[in-house]
Amino acid sequence: MKIGMVGLGIMGKPMSKNLLKAGYDLVIYDINQEAVQEVAKLGALVGANSKDVAQKSDVIITMLPNSPHVKAAVLGENGVLEGMRPDAILVDMSSIAPLASIEICKSVESKGCFMLDAPVSGGEPKAIEGTLSIMVGGRPDIFEKVKDILSVMGKSVVLCGDIGAGNTTKLANQVIVALNIAALSEALLLGKKAGVDPNVIFEAIRSGLAGSTVMEAKTPLMIDGNFKPGFRIELHIKDLANALETGHEVGAHMPLTSQVMEMMQWLKSNGKGSEDHSAVVRYYEELANETVRSDNP
């Protein structure tokens, strides 16, 4: 089975490398030629555009920033849809609005093809490890056809429901992650202002009820002041915007999400949008005139 990959960013590039390591034939495309050449050196074929990738593939994976990018890559000129062969499967692994997934799927199915939405969680480290959590929406029979492919990239691969359910589940995930990061930031600043070392707080509570994957991944970054992006604030803003929009559409009230969104928007407006989302702690540091970093005097 030949796989196409459109999108070789922070996530798509390591995911492509894992597919190649697993022995799959891979055709790739991205506007970033440096990323294309890096993956091509490992054995991938290079497509001229998204249409060309689709023409040469049985399964086409898209991994792009947001709904407009996916629509352009799939539905636009020289897009995936123009090149899809009958019975081909599009697996959109981008994190986009659920209604956008449903809209794209209708166009794909009108051509006699199939689609799954399959956003991921875990950031760049787990993309490199091949241990992402993958949340899938779509037909069960189509899911079964690509489950082995997805399992190369993810440790957890779960069918969540019909098309759009994958992205709805991802939005729920992103809300929980954002609120966890904000709570962690608030708690560590409380401790630091009260004279307790954040390292000690982390060690004391990490094995209790407050412990979480977010705590394990983000506390060391906050304490070290290391905000090299694993998942950028500007991307989390995109996800929270989609979550709030979806909440408005279905009548789900999201006051905590709205508040964390404002924190992230403040950080973006102050030049921190490209930093890791653990940099939410900077918002609290600014308010407290203090840092959680262990090198703070």
Which residue of the set 17, 51, 126, 170 is catalytic? 170
Q: Which among 93, 71, 98 has a CA at the least distance from the CA of 150?
A: 93
Task: Return the SS3 of 91.
Answer: strand
For this structure, is 106 an active site residue?
A: no
Please say whether the beta carbons of 168 and 160 come within 8 A: yes
* DSSP E strands, the chain: 2-6, 25-29, 45-46, 59-62, 89-92, 114-117, 120-121, 132-137, 154-161
How does 4-13 read in b/e, with b if 16+ C-beta sit within 10 Å?
A: bbbbbbbbbb
Please say whether the beta carbons of 108 and 90 come within 8 A: yes
Residue 45 CA to residue 240 CA, distance in Å, equals 35
Supply the residues annotated as catalytic.
Answer: 170
